[in-house]
Amino acid sequence: MFGSPRVRSLYFLLIGLLLSVAAPAVIASEVVAILTDGPGARPMVSQQALETEIVSLTSGEFAVKFPLDKQLNGNWTEQGISAALDRLLTDSDVDIVLCLGVLASQEAARRSDLPKPVLATQVIDPRLQGYPLLNGASGRQNFAYISNVRSIDDDLALDTPFAFHIFHNGFQLCRIHSPTSFANLRHFK
């Protein structure tokens, strides 16, 4: 469900850090909004598991809420995801936004000014996707992301016919998930 123990630890460490940064020393509650790529999305970590772990991690310090009206999806389109993220970022009731999808995470990474903490949880390859990186962190206020330290580019750099075809004519990646998802990942470098 969470992949490796290291990935699980990183998820909850970053979420805990975001919650502590976003919250004053004494606070009654935190509202966490969730943005998925589209209906029926299947993130690497289930939303229910994340909610359970976040509540457990923060119990005794403050209450964390995941209101249903703050759980949006982008209908698998860049425009839909951008509009949903705008809505959550301007919602005064939302304290933190969790992006539980590759496309939603990519949209958050593209933004240079985030008015509240955003955690991008579904990153394929930060280097190929053009994610910000400065001294091992995003270097961008209110933006954090979780990624595998290994680059897809490193995996495909082998001198094989497969790698040749992937890089032939400027293409770096093959189909990911579905044609719709791939079309929306045009921000890969």
pLDDT at 172: 46
In sequence order, the 6+-apart residues with CB closer than 8 A to the CB of 87 are 72
**63 in Cβ contact with 54 (< 8 Å):** no
This prediction's pTM: 0.67
Please state the domain extents for the chain: 5-150
5-150 fold: Rossmann fold (3.40.50)
Q: How far apart are CA 171 and CA 157, in angstroms?
A: 13
Q: How far apart are CA 94 and CA 84, in angstroms?
A: 13
Write out the chain's pLDDT in tens, 189 residues: 456 666 666 666 666 656 655 555 555 589 999 999 998 877 677 788 888 888 888 888 888 999 999 999 999 999 999 999 999 999 999 999 999 988 999 999 999 899 999 998 888 777 778 777 777 777 788 988 887 655 555 555 554 444 433 444 444 444 344 445 545 555 555
